[in-house]
Amino acid sequence: MPVTIRDVAKAAGVSITTVSRAFNGYDDVGPDTRKRILKVAKELNYRPSHVARSLVLQQTQNIGLLISDFNANRGAHHFLFDVMAGVHDRLSSLGYDVTLVSTTTARQRLVSYIDFCTERRLEGVIVMGMRLDDPYMQEVAEAKLPSVGIDLPILSRYCGYVMTDNVNGAKLGMQHLLAKGHRRIGFVNGYQKAAVSVDRLRGYQLALESAGIESDPDLIVHSNFLVEGGEVATELLLSRVPDLSAIFYASDLMAIGGMRYLHRVGKRIPEDVAVVGYDNVDVGEWSAPALTTVSQRRYDMGVYAADMLIGMLQRNEEPGGRLLPSELVIRQST
Amino acid sequence: MPVTIRDVAKAAGVSITTVSRAFNGYDDVGPDTRKRILKVAKELNYRPSHVARSLVLQQTQNIGLLISDFNANRGAHHFLFDVMAGVHDRLSSLGYDVTLVSTTTARQRLVSYIDFCTERRLEGVIVMGMRLDDPYMQEVAEAKLPSVGIDLPILSRYCGYVMTDNVNGAKLGMQHLLAKGHRRIGFVNGYQKAAVSVDRLRGYQLALESAGIESDPDLIVHSNFLVEGGEVATELLLSRVPDLSAIFYASDLMAIGGMRYLHRVGKRIPEDVAVVGYDNVDVGEWSAPALTTVSQRRYDMGVYAADMLIGMLQRNEEPGGRLLPSELVIRQST
DNA sequence: TTGACAATCCAAAACGTTTTCGGTAATTTA
DNA sequence: TAAATTACCGAAAACGTTTTGGATTGTCAA
């Protein structure tokens, strides 16, 4: 049905070889024949088949964007969508296609994620929304397929990552709180198994340490990065240590939940307890009071992940671990 | 590099024809040969090339997910991510791949959106985040490529759509406000050019009409669906008609912005002015007060769009316009 | 015994490109 | 004028599958 290179060759009275060369900018085709071929091609609405091209060239220019469990990760759209945008913008500007992959897809089809990718001859994968203890993670790390993870600090021959410098980010948030004079500072962390969680905890403790304050285990509680989680975590925290004067949350969403609880029990923010979040997600700007937070360059993470992957593919650079600096965004909650 | 059908044929001592048939479940291959072939294939880690398959079958099982301007649409992630999830979940469970397409991509490469799709032999497209007056829209509507739009009520031989029943949705929100006794109700609409805007305006007016209230143009103002827009729109609205007792916003984000302004000028919600939004986006649950809103089934919109497209492709059904009902979610802002 | 009929298998063409290796004609050089 | 070079073009193989149209057995009924 679609018009092929043979059609335009016939119409232009040349061989398919010449058409191919004219299209790919070779210099051994006469200027008038080239013009004629291009004109004929335009008239016929010829579009070279990417799949035929992929077959003979043995490269698809197609890279996968793996979102662990798409449906289950819907709550994380505040983070994931921006990363996606960065990945796609960069990749497509470099001439690559990006196809969506989800672990659920693979499970339904009863093929492993890596089988899915090799069947489609994907040249690489960018992985996000996955936890370190996800059973798929091992597959990703051990695969020969070049990949780069977002917030997944796993390094191997074919696997790099980009993430925020979470220990310094957390330190930044804490230093701000400490500078305001707070001494009893609660910390609501995310999943214990999330890579970012261990780093943010480190940053929290380091900041306390260099301020000469001993870390109190009662002040630390784990949750799930989401609003409801932040709410119950805050309740727990306040019941354990009622005299805290500030809380540092490992995500803006949890901070929102926390503030909701604090409002409910009549605590004023920031007078009674100061709050800082993590992520710099749009919701934080709209909350009352507007949320002080540690910003994460989500879009850039996507861009850099794309760059690293392409570096591996085109200039076979070694994969590495790229850390993006965080920045403190001070608003009304502190 | 990757192992081909020829490799497994050789290793199993049969022809490639037989391997192909064994893999595709034909019945004219002996039970023992089949077992041997499958075993050998597993040992060699053979994965049939999707691209070779696409070439000979003349179908790629690949459909495009077009997001108008990915980067510019980042603010709409609250809506788009869920739709994406629905589209991808359904499409992948039906054996289709989905590749991301953006109008920016096409522009960079200097090929039209439709050229991009035919080069890759995409079998159909789902379009979202696009405005009716987008220059690309004409291309979409006129193309021979099967497509279905999200919130883009354009119907043609190859183009269907799915969207929320916005006029009834808006009526629902308004009836709630009217039942609460409000008579002077402001309406903050989205872009005038957005398809959903004209429907929601209709619903607003219809509701007033059947309540016997005359529509006052001063009570209607257009904005951009986003928080800041809602804020300035509310200021404008209040300056024009200070005695209004309720405001209906065409998006939750604008409602959030509106509430922010109302708080700033000392109006209590809902005592002084009641607020209802549209979308039922997560932020609305977290705001103070929690936002009454008209829900939109975002994930389902994606699912239904996928179903409609596949119906066109596999059972060549006529494209149609599918309207999803809205539901009122009553919370504390009314 | 012989044809018919299953049951298995295979060779080759096709899908739409790119690329290698030449080939022909025109132009330059000796 | 002959040889060498240049400019332009084409035939054919290759990429990894599927499918068509037989071919080769063995089995069974007549």
pLDDT digits (tens, 9 = 90+) for B169-185: 999 999 999 999 999 99
pLDDT at B14: 93
Chain B positions touching A49 (Cβ under 8 A) are 55, 119, 121
Distance in Å, alpha carbon of B159 to nearest chain A alpha carbon: 20
pLDDT at A109: 62
Confidence of residue B25 (pLDDT cuts 50, 70, 90): confident
Q: What is the dihedral of CA B206, B208, B214, B216, to 10 degrees?
A: -90
d(CA A186, CA A165): 21
What is A62-164+300-323's CATH topology? Rossmann fold (3.40.50)
Helix-strand-coil percent breakdown of chain B, rounded to 5?
A: 50, 15, 35
Confidence of residue A317 (pLDDT cuts 50, 70, 90): very high
pLDDT digits (tens, 9 = 90+) for A258-282: 999 999 999 999 999 999 999 999 9
- Nucleic strand D within 7 A of Cβ A16: yes
| Pairing mode, strands A220-222 and A185-189 | parallel
Confidence of residue A105 (pLDDT cuts 50, 70, 90): low
Closest-CA residue of B relative to A76 is B81
Q: Per CATH, is B62-164+300-324 categorized as 3.40.250.10?
A: no
Average pLDDT over residues A197-220: 96
Nucleotide showing the shortest C1' distance to residue B6 CA: D16
The answer, yes or no, to whether residue B106 has pLDDT greater than 70, is: no
The answer, yes or no, to whether residue A285 has pLDDT greater than 70, is: yes
Q: Give the residue among A66, A77, A82 at the shortest CA–CA distance from B70.
A: A82
d(CA A71, CA A69): 6
Question: And the tokens for B293?
Answer: 């809103």
Q: Give the residue among A150, A85, A134 at the shortest CA–CA distance from A309.
A: A150
pLDDT digits (tens, 9 = 90+) for A211-265: 999 999 999 999 999 999 999 999 999 999 999 999 999 999 999 999 999 999 9
Average pLDDT over residues B46-61: 96
Instruction: Please give the distance of CA B242 from its chain centroid, rounded to a whole number.
Output: 37
Distance in Å, alpha carbon of A282 to nearest chain B alpha carbon: 9
Contacts of A134 (CB under 8 A, 6+ apart): A68, A103
The number of beta carbons lying within 10 Å of the beta carbon of residue A242 is 8
pLDDT at A110: 63
**Chain-wide mean pLDDT for chain B?**
93
Confidence of residue A103 (pLDDT cuts 50, 70, 90): confident
Contact A127, A151 (CB under 8 A): no
d(CA A148, CA A158): 8
Question: And the tokens for A127?
Answer: 């992985």
Average pLDDT over residues A4-18: 94
| Residue A285 to residues A82, A282, B17, B41, B300, Cα–Cα distance (Å) | 17, 6, 62, 56, 29
- Nucleic strand C within 7 A of Cβ A263: no
Confidence of residue A201 (pLDDT cuts 50, 70, 90): very high
User: If one looks up domain B166-295 in CATH, what number appears?
Assistant: 3.40.50.2300
pLDDT at A134: 84
- Nucleic strand D within 7 A of Cβ B37: no
Contact B138, B116 (CB under 8 A): no
Q: Which residues of chain B (56-95) touch nucleic strand D at CB < 7 A?
A: 56-57
Buried b (16+ CB within 10 A) or exposed e, A75-91: bbbbbbbbbbbbbbbbb
The answer, yes or no, to whether residue B89 has pLDDT greater than 80, is: yes
Average pLDDT over residues B271-291: 94
- Return the minimum-mean-pLDDT range out of A35-44, B34-43, B103-112, B293-302: B103-112
DSSP state of A330: -
Average pLDDT over residues A114-141: 90
Q: Which residue is nearest to nucleotide C20 (CA to C1')?
A: A17
Average pLDDT over residues A13-17: 93
d(CA A316, C1' C22) / Å: 35
d(CA B252, CA B245): 18
d(CA B118, CA A42): 14
d(CA B301, CA B93): 16
Residue-by-residue DSSP string for A224-251 = -SSHHHHHHHHHHHHHH-TT--EEEESS
CB contact under 8 A, A288 and B89: no
- Nucleic strand C within 7 A of Cβ B28: yes
d(CA A307, CA A6): 37
Contact A292, A330 (CB under 8 A): yes
Residue-by-residue DSSP string for B158-178 = TEEEEEE-HHHHHHHHHHHHH
Do B5-48 and B62-164+300-324 have matching folds?
Answer: no
The answer, yes or no, to whether residue A104 has pLDDT greater than 90, is: no
User: If one looks up domain B5-48 in CATH, what number appears?
Assistant: 1.10.260.40
CB contact under 8 A, B118 and A62: no
Q: Which residues of chain A (19-38) touch nucleic strand C at CB < 7 A?
A: 20-21, 23-24, 28
| Residue B207 to residues B50, B75, B200, B215, B332, Cα–Cα distance (Å) | 54, 30, 11, 10, 22
The answer, yes or no, to whether residue B62 has pLDDT greater than 80, is: yes
Measured in Å, how far apart are chain B's first and last C-alpha atoms? 65
pLDDT digits (tens, 9 = 90+) for B130-141: 988 888 888 888
The more confident residue out of A176 and B31 is A176
Rounded to the nearest 5 degrees, what angle is found at the Cα of A14, between the Cα atoms of A13 and A19?
Answer: 125
pLDDT at B334: 94
Q: How many residues does chain A have?
A: 334
Average pLDDT over residues A88-101: 95
Sheet with A185-189: strands ordered across: A220-222, A185-189, A246-249, A274-279, A292-295, A327-329
Contact B319, B308 (CB under 8 A): yes
CB contact under 8 A, B121 and A51: yes
DSSP state of B145: S
**Chain-wide mean pLDDT for chain A?**
94
* Segments making up each domain of chain B, as ranges: 5-48, 62-164+300-324, 166-295
CB contact under 8 A, B74 and A81: yes
Q: What's the number of CA atoms in the CB half-sphere (13 Å) around residue A291?
A: 32
pLDDT at B194: 87
Q: Give the residue among A293, A237, A292, A284 at the shortest CA–CA distance from A265.
A: A237
Average pLDDT over residues B263-292: 95
pLDDT digits (tens, 9 = 90+) for B108-126: 666 788 899 999 999 999 9
Nearest to B100 among A1, A100, A115 (CB): A100
pLDDT at A107: 60
d(CA B188, CA B244): 13
pLDDT digits (tens, 9 = 90+) for B312-321: 999 989 999 9
